[in-house]
Amino acid sequence: SVTARAIIYNAYGEPAETIKCHSYKIDVDSLKPDDVVVETVACPINPSDINQIQGVYPSRPPISADSLPELKSPAAVCGNEGLFKIIATGSKVSNFKKGDWCIPANVNFGSWCTHKLGSDKEFIKVPQTISVNHAATISVNPSSAYQMLTYFEELKPGDWFIQNGANSQVGRAAIQIGKKLGLNSLNIVRNRDDIDELVADLTALGATKVITEDDNGSKEFGKTIKSWLNGKQIKLGMNCVGGSSVTGLARKLGPDATLLTYGGMSMKPVILPTSLFIFKNLTAKGFWITGNIKRIPNSRIDTIKAVLKMIEDGDLAEPKYDETKAKVSDLTDEKLLHIFTAGLANSKKGKQLVLF
Ligand code: NDP
């Protein structure tokens, strides 16, 4: 048997004070025919994972006595995304063999763990031709960028889209997927001391133009943008931020455009001028990749396949993460808990990936 450890919560609350580590045994020698046992290769800490622990995210795993063996009280396992390696298979499993890589087929998987026992249907195989970082983070951020760029407006090569939060993982993926699709992107980022470095970085990824939130809010700067567009109209907007950022973004959209709101990083409401709805026929909608799993059958698997192809073709650069290594052989409950508590604190400064 193997000793598995998982980061869990028994009630909703502030993540750092709420999470615990639970250890239990998985008997790899007495599996049901369809069972597989996986060990975790890597898992990210995403904003939605944090919101789930806080109890404010609409899609959440149940806090249940059945979520893991040997629980002292009902719990849910943290985390949704991750990369896993098959270490044992039941007698009827034909789609996986030991050593294969896989990712969760569904959301609310409980990925912040060292091992997991589940049915083979709970996993999608991924090829080992892509990097660990790509494989562990394929189903949320690049998949969201892909769907936003392809599901709403029929964008053709040469068309423009605009986005704020352009330095987020979603934004960086959108820049690269947009480039692959032949699209031009106008990217809004927060100002900072090393803004030239960030502009160079995003431009190297394929951003057509990068502007700051100050430029975004400036009427004067509108003339520069007009000259860049050279008579073209922006058809799609992607809003990660809200507040005055989305107001400026929306003002740059052309007639009949679609504005998708997928994040609210400023914690401010989406503020849109009435005139854009009346005179420019603006459509403003929400985007939620988890909602699309139910609404658009096969969207999860189809999107993952499309993004996988882009990664294999070298169209998406290695995603940037602050990496922490958890060495399974000398883990204790305390050590694993500490890794995730520190990861949660550090996630305010940058994206975190825990490697096992
Ligand atoms: P990241 O942690 O990679 O990026 C967060 C970004 O937000 C950073 O670029 C940061 O800017 C920016 N930011 C933080 N605070 C503010 C603020 N006050 N004002 C403006 N910008 C701010 O996040 P992800 O790419 O993982 O996710 C981004 C957002 O998208 C999250 O809200 C997430 O929940 C959401 N999301 C939604 C999905 C959906 O289906 N609806 C799917 C995936 C993600 P800077 O670079 O300047 O630090």
Return the ligand 1 atom nearest residue 190 CA: 47
d(CA 226, CA 127): 44
What's the domain range around 178?
141-292
pLDDT of 32: 97
From 292, 308, 341, the end of a domain falls on 292
Domain membership of residue 312 (yes or no) is no
d(CA 207, CA 202): 6
Domain membership of residue 304 (yes or no) is no
**Claim to verify: residue 342 and residue 271 sit in the same structural domain:** no
How many CA atoms, within 13 angstroms, populate the side-chain half-sphere of residue 334?
Answer: 0
Domain membership of residue 45 (yes or no) is yes
Domain membership of residue 310 (yes or no) is no
- What is the three-class DSSP state of 36? strand
From 275, 292, 309, the end of a domain falls on 292
**Claim to verify: residue 68 and residue 159 sit in the same structural domain:** no
Angle between the 299-312 and 169-180 helix axes, to the nearest 10 degrees? 70
**Claim to verify: residue 147 and residue 282 sit in the same structural domain:** yes
Query: How many angstroms is it from 168 CA to the middle of ligand 1?
Result: 5
**Claim to verify: residue 21 and residue 116 sit in the same structural domain:** yes
Q: What is the CATH number of the domain that holds 91?
A: 3.90.180.10
Query: Into how many domains does the chain fold?
Result: 2
Domain membership of residue 305 (yes or no) is no
**Claim to verify: residue 228 and residue 242 sit in the same structural domain:** yes
**Claim to verify: residue 199 and residue 262 sit in the same structural domain:** yes
Domain membership of residue 133 (yes or no) is yes
Query: How many angstroms is it from 119 CA to the middle of ligand 1?
Result: 33
**Claim to verify: residue 24 and residue 51 sit in the same structural domain:** yes
**Claim to verify: residue 91 and residue 32 sit in the same structural domain:** yes
Query: How many angstroms is it from 238 CA to the middle of ligand 1?
Result: 12
* Ligand 1 mutation pick, 238, 240, 261, max ligand atoms within 8 A of CB: 240
**Claim to verify: residue 246 and residue 346 sit in the same structural domain:** no
Q: Which residues pair with 209 in a beta bridge?
A: 186
Domain membership of residue 306 (yes or no) is no
Domain membership of residue 205 (yes or no) is yes
pLDDT of 129: 95
From 292, 313, 334, the end of a domain falls on 292
Return the ligand 1 atom nearest residue 264 CA: 32
**Claim to verify: residue 152 and residue 288 sit in the same structural domain:** yes
Query: How many angstroms is it from 188 CA to the middle of ligand 1?
Result: 12
d(CA 59, CA 7): 18
Whether 151 is a known active-site residue: answer: no
Task: Flag residues of the chain having pLDDT under 70.
Answer: none
**Claim to verify: residue 158 and residue 270 sit in the same structural domain:** yes
286 φ, ψ (degrees, to nearest 5): -90, 155
pLDDT of 213: 98
Write the residue with the smallest CA distance to atom 44 of ligand 1: 141
DSSP 317: P
Q: What is the CATH number of the domain that holds 159?
A: 3.40.50.720
Q: Is 139 exposed, middle or buried (0-12, 13-18, 19+ CB in 10 A)?
A: buried
pLDDT of 126: 97
CA proximity to 237, closest of 214, 254, 217: 254
Return the ligand 1 atom nearest residue 351 CA: 2
- Classify the phi-psi angles of 108: left when phi > 0, otherwise alpha if psi is within -120 to 50, otherwise beta: left
Catalytic, out of 9, 12, 24, 57? 57
> Ligand 1: residues within 6 Å at CB?
46-48, 140-141, 144, 165, 167-170, 189-190, 240-241, 262-263, 265-266, 287-289, 351
**Claim to verify: residue 126 and residue 181 sit in the same structural domain:** no
